[in-house]
Structure 1
Amino acid sequence: MKKLIALFLLGVSALLTGCSDNIVPVEGKQYSKLPANLSTYRLPQVTEVFSLNCGHCGKMEAEIPKLESMIDQSIGKIHITFNESAQIGAMIYYSAEMQLGHKPDHQMMLELFSAVQMAEGSTADRKGAIDRVFQSRDLISPYDLGEDAQTQLFQAMHLADEITAKGEISSVPTFIVNGKYLIITSGHENLDSIADTIQYLIKQ
């Protein structure tokens, strides 16, 4: 009888350990430590790194409000600049952020993704769609910025480039947490698991 009880307790202990392992995110699988501490840039505690040209980023944007609700805080944004198409996307994004004084709201982000990622039509059609996103909000299109505004825009892009370079960020979408950790989105099955990892890292 004592032997059966001991085996039962051992089995319960193993089950509990297994559950605990599943709950606690694993470094190298669900997240990694950044090679440089980016907290000196005063990033929001949770910051998405993305590109308007990235299809997966567009899909993630659709989930951002839900994710913000799950972690109970607003998520900041950094647009990557590590190739030519991303640089063009960054010019469009930072043109909006610069004029608004904060990140664009969710609806504007969805419209920007849709305009930049137009599957059909000419470059002129895409430009027209981007112009409309800005003009509908009484903002100046990135194609019509004056010299001073362009200087401010390139400063914002330079800062984003510096952050992504120091963090050695090479794929998007992803999230920086506490300026020290990078979420490995491919290591998660769903939005719930991403939220769990973010909440875990917030406390580290």
Structure 2
Amino acid sequence: MRLTLSMLMLLLSMAVGVQAQDSYKEGVHYQALKQPVPTQDPTKIEVTEVFWYGCGHCFSFEPMIQQWKKGLDSDVTFVHSPAIWNGPMEVHARAFYVAKALNMFDKIHQPLFNALNIDRKRLANEKSLGQFFADFGVDAETFKKTYNSFGVVSQVSQANARARSYGIQGTPEIVVDGKYRVSASLAGSQEKMLQVTNYLVNKIRQEKS
């Protein structure tokens, strides 16, 4: 019931937010990056969520972001980017890219959130994470090889550099088209984060047209 009510409140607040877009101001509800960060596909408006699997706020935001993604127009692309500022976060970032490399992101993503936030598992090293992936049919050798692969290590390094370029101060945060940063503390709530994001997407769409 709580999840259903949360989704209804999100849809209602977003509808109200459409009427209040003129009130969103730079430096108040969102921040412009001092230096724009290149996006993966310049032909699209890129919305990037910087997150951490062990973050309770990210865990509660996940159902909202999944619902929000369903309404995206074809000119908008959504990207997850793991935050990394300590050892366990790097391990979890590697898990994200291992799942991507093994084409099993959809199987791993929510269960990994659940393991850390509901089951209170730490999964803070390669061994424990390998056991987690084994529950999804990944043999130890495949996991070890992928976890330590050049591709995964490089993507983790790039994600770390990207978050630093964004000036991320916590998780979850959203960066719109490599130009604007949105957080719950700036927007006012997680629901309002998505309202401000919609506003910025439309702003960029108008600028591009």
Q: Do both share a fold (TM > 0.5)?
A: yes
TM-score w.r.t. length of structure 1 = 0.71
CA offsets 1:179-203 (integer angstroms, 9 cap, x no match):
1111122233555533321122112
Offset of residue 131 of structure 1: 3.7
Structure 1 residues 129 and 62 mapped into 2: Cα distance closer, same or farther (>3 Å)? farther
1:23 alignment counterpart: 21
Counterpart CA distance in 2 for 1:115 and 1:32 is 33
C-alpha displacement of 1:21: 9.6
The CA deviation at 1:155 is: 0.5
- Do 2:18 and 2:195's aligned partners in 1 also have CA atoms closer than 8 Å? no
**RMSD of the TM alignment (CA)?**
3.5
2:46 aligns to what?
A: 45
Amino acid at match of 2:174: F
Seq. identity, % = 21
Aligned AA (2:199): Y
Residues 200 and 153 of structure 1: CA distance in aligned 2, closer, same or farther (over 3 Å)? same
Give the whole-Å Cα distance in 1 for the aligned partners of 2:71 and 2:95: 29
Kept in 2, the 8 Å contact 1:176–1:182? The answer is yes
Alignment gaps of 5+ in structure 2: 1-16, 205-209
- Select between 142-151 and 189-198 the one with higher mean Cα deviation: 142-151
Query: d(CA) in 1 for partners of 2:77 and 2:134?
Result: 23
Post-superposition CA distance 1:67-112 (Å, at most 9, x none): 1134445521000111222112111111111222xx823x632211
Number of aligned residue pairs: 181
Per-residue deviation, residues 31-89 of structure 1 (Å, max 9, x unmatched): 10113211255486111100111111111112222111344455210001112221121
Aligned to 1:112: 112
Q: From the superposition, tell whether residues 20 and 57 of structure 1 become closer, same or farther in structure 2 (CA, over 3 Å).
A: closer
SS of the equivalent of 2:62 reads helix
Query: Could you tell me how far 1:134 is from its partner in structure 2?
Result: 5.9
Q: Secondary structure at the match of 2:70?
A: helix
Report the more deviating stretch, 114-123 or 64-73. 114-123
- Larger radius of gyration between Structure 1 and Structure 2: 1
CA contact (8 A) 1:47 1:176 kept: yes
Aligned counterparts, 1:74-85, within 5 A? 75-85=78-88
